[in-house]
Structure 1
Amino acid sequence: MKAPAFWAREGALASALGPLGALYGQIVTARAKRPGLQLGVPTLCIGNPTLGGAGKTPVVRSLAQILRSEFGIEPHVITRGYGGSVSGSLRVDPQRHDAGLVGDEPLLLAREAVVWAGPDRVASARAAVAAGARILLMDDGFQNPGLAKSMSWLVVDGPAGIGNGKVFPAGPLRERFPDALERADALVMIGEDRQGLAAKTELPVLSARLIHPLEALVSLREGTTFAFAGIGRPEKFFDSLRAAGVQVVGTRAFPDHHRFTASELHDLRAVAKRNRARLVTTEKDLVRLSPADRSEIVTLSVTICWWNRPRVQALLKGLITPASER
């Protein structure tokens, strides 16, 4: 789904849809407050207050790395596997499974952690615990009451913020921002906080930014590129290339989780050739392509850089350390 332009500002259409959005938000919040199933292991939910594009998956990948490298714990990630056809709960194997089965984000997450994909988060969590999971990381699911959360972190894209501040369909919010904050334990702010949202909460604010590997950027700066992406906010990817000094001669945006057709890929290659440019896309987009379709397409990975990593570590330690040992 591509976010409509009016979600970014106040206007007549947003105002007209406001009452419907208010009702929708009340329903979402009331449902989210229902008690969830307790499975006896720490469960950290990484969610967001808006629809798509905030940066949840890079945050989950980063936390999985920290838990494994600095705490010696192998986290198990629970994800719906949006865009995949899996119907049960499946332990993701990047060597055997593709995006058509498990979705694109689970394939990326499986590089850092054990990942369980499936539409039923509770079933996936049960499978993870049965397999020996000592901690669960939920990629999304903040508004879903099925599984009890030990801790929840809300991820916000700083420059985009919460748009016009209205609830879907009047705006990008899944529920009222204050209602979401009431159930959260920390706010993750990725990039510049242009709407001053951090000042509206007393929660710990974990500031971070998305970065690309320097060596990859150096290589891309040597020529011209044509960028394409089917993610929550393609413009964020395009802007990051330009900000890094990459000469972008053109861009093409697709909906999040888009399944590229042979015709679309042919057109992309043709326009890149006319501009004597290299095609560049995101890791998330590349995993949705077949190995044959990936040829001559450059991918640019992204990672989270925490401004205050010790604070992140302290919150994780509080999550995994029994109360009797604190």
Structure 2
Amino acid sequence: MSAKRQTPAWWYDAEVLVPFWAHAGEALFRTLSGLRARAYAKGWKKAFHPGVPVIIVGNISVGGTGKTPLVLSLIKHLQAAGYTPGLATRGYGRSNPKQAIWVDATTPALVGGDEPVMIAQATGVRIRADARRAAAARALVAAGCDVIVCDDGLQHYGLARDIEIEVIDAMRGYGNGRLLPAGPLRESPLGATRFDFRVVNLGALPDAAAERIGTDFQAMFVRPTQVKSMNSARTATLAAFEGQRVHAVAGIGHPQRFFDMLKRHDIAVVPHPFPDHHVFSESDFEFSSDLPVLMTSKDAAKCRAFARDHWYEIAVEAELPDAFWSALDARLASLKQSAP
């Protein structure tokens, strides 16, 4: 089955495939979401600000755009610059989403959420998972954090923010440009110009692909950095798998991006896409052949307990231009100077 058939039609500008009920649902969604945004903009509903800079990293479309690699790079950049960042997250996929918890590298992924646990393992940052992001930010400041990074939440207006970063997938963009449920958008792309930074995820495409994006966007490339054995200290690079067939497992928002990255390294991929935040079990890996298994760090966080010797985690990092980091640093310095 092609990647296109595995993906909702709204990503491919197929207007004829949008049923009548979706048109009606879109109108209702636009009205309700617009009223909610207006209520905060007019001050009818109050947003909470924790008293330290708040950076929101998110997307206006559903599905994966690559914001997690950007969050990882952002946290590492802030740590290197001398900040004590904290991550506020809903922790999607947690077994008890109503319970506010601290997440660290030892938290089971089912309890803390796959992305928060993976970020904790990679950075050691303080992480608070709470359906109420404002409450998470308050807890992080009380724990000593001096800048809050929010993983997703551009439409979570209850938490006031100082910097908004939109992440867009270069392969899919805004799809058919329609709002839910007629399309993949949570808000109109016409309002996206309000964001402080707009980052387009070009994946691991050649640098020449940057010419396709507009001047309003910063180009981000996601590069594989290391291949790590999931139950030993062995490390390697993707070059070690060139010319081999492998089982590629991805339970992320856009699995095809992971598969394509492996193919560009001349790896023969047997793809196994799963829904985003899929809760894996050993039975999911009952493949017909005993080939090496490669998976994302996000998925590895949920599979370590039953990992086998030939299973590997692919670590990646987001690369952005120096101009992006310089502008971000300048904005944070300005916020620090203006703080009471």
TM-score (norm 1): 0.87
The Cα shift of 1:320 comes to 4.0
Determine if the alignment matches structure 1 residue 187 to structure 2 residue 202: no
From 26, 30, 34, the equivalent of 1:25 is 30
1:260 alignment partner AA: F
**Which residue does 2:113 correspond to in 1?**
103
User: How much has 1:325 moved relative to structure 2?
Assistant: 7.2
1:134 deviates by 0.6
Stretches of structure 2 that go unaligned for 5 or more consecutive residues are: 1-5, 41-45, 227-235
Identity %: 32
Distance 1:138 1:210, change over 3 A: same
Q: 1:314 aligns with which of 316, 327, 331?
A: 327
**Aligned residue among 110, 123, 145 for 1:133:** 145
Matched with 1:123 is: 135
Corresponding position of 1:162: 174
Q: Is residue 224 of structure 1 aligned with residue 234 of structure 2?
A: no
Tell me, in whole angstroms, the C-alpha distance in 1 between the residues paired with 2:299 and 2:327.
33
The one-letter code sitting in structure 1 at the alignment partner of 2:332 is L
Separation (CA, whole Å) in 2 of partners of 1:55 and 1:14: 26
Cα shift at 1:247:
2.0
Q: 1:288 to 1:294 in 2, by over 3 A?
A: farther
Matches within 5 A, 1:6-85: 6-14=10-18, 16=20, 17-33=22-38, 34=40, 35-69=46-80, 71-85=81-95
- Alpha-carbon distance change, 60 to 178 in structure 1, aligned in 2, over 3 angstroms: same
Once the 2 structures are TM-superposed, how far is the Cα of residue 257 of structure 1 from its aligned partner?
0.4
1:234-271 alpha-carbon deviations (Å, 9 max, x no partner): 111101110122122x1111100001233222x23xx2
* C-alpha distance in 1 between matches for 2:57 and 2:37: 14
Residue 3 of structure 1: CA displacement? 4.5
Preserved contact between residue 162 and residue 173 of structure 1 (Cα < 8 Å): yes
Match of 2:298 in 1: 284
CA contact (8 A) 1:272 1:278 kept: no
For residues 174 and 137 of structure 1, the distance between their equivalents in structure 2, rounded to whole angstroms, comes to 21
2:210 pairs with 1:210? no
Whole-Å separation in 2 of the counterparts to 1:230 and 1:220 = 21
Counterparts of 2:337 and 2:85, CA distance in 1: 22
Distance apart, 1:295 and its partner CA: 4.1
TM-score, with length taken from structure 2: 0.84
CA deviation vs aligned residue, 1:197-229 (integer Å, no higher than 9, x gap)? 954xx8x52211111126521112153211121
Counterparts of 2:180 and 2:308, CA distance in 1: 36
Task: Give the aligned partner of residue 281 of structure 2.
Answer: 261
* Equivalent position SS for 1:212: strand
Q: 8 Å contact 2:54–2:148 — kept in the other structure?
A: yes
Q: 1:152, CA displacement in angstroms? A: 0.5
Q: Secondary structure at the match of 1:239?
A: helix
Alpha-carbon distance in 2 for matches of 1:197, 1:31: 35
Aligned partner of 1:258: which letter? H
Q: 1:77 to 1:296 in 2, by over 3 A?
A: same
Distance 1:32 1:144, change over 3 A: farther
- Name the CA shift for 1:153/1:240 in 2 (closer, same or farther; >3 Å): same
Which of 57-66 and 14-23 deviates more?
Answer: 14-23
Deviation at 1:312, TM superposition (A): 2.3
Cα displacement string for residues 38-71 of structure 1 (whole angstroms, at most 9, x for unaligned residues): 22110000010110210111111101111111x2
Residue 165 of structure 1 aligns with an amino acid whose one-letter code is G
Distance 1:237 1:29, change over 3 A: farther
The corresponding residue for 2:261 is: 240
User: For the residues of structure 1 that align with 2:53 and 2:261, how far apart are their CA atoms?
Assistant: 35
Q: How many residues of Structure 1 are paired with residues of Structure 2 in the alignment?
A: 311
Residue 321 of structure 1 aligns to a residue whose secondary structure is helix
**What amino acid sits opposite 1:67 in the alignment?**
L
Deviation at 1:293, TM superposition (A): 3.2
Gaps of 5+ in 1: none
Counterpart AA for 1:30: L
Secondary structure in 1 matching 2:18 = helix
Q: 2:49, 2:134 within 8 Å by CA — same for their partners in 1?
A: no
Is the 2:87–2:149 Cα contact (8 Å) retained in structure 1?
Answer: yes
Match of residue 252, structure 1, among 272, 281, 294: 272
Equivalent-residue separation in structure 2 for 1:65 and 1:77 (angstroms): 12
Query: CA separation of 1:23/1:3 partners in 2, compared to 1, >3 Å: closer, same or farther?
Result: farther
SS in 1 for 2:258: helix
Q: Secondary structure at the match of 2:284?
A: helix
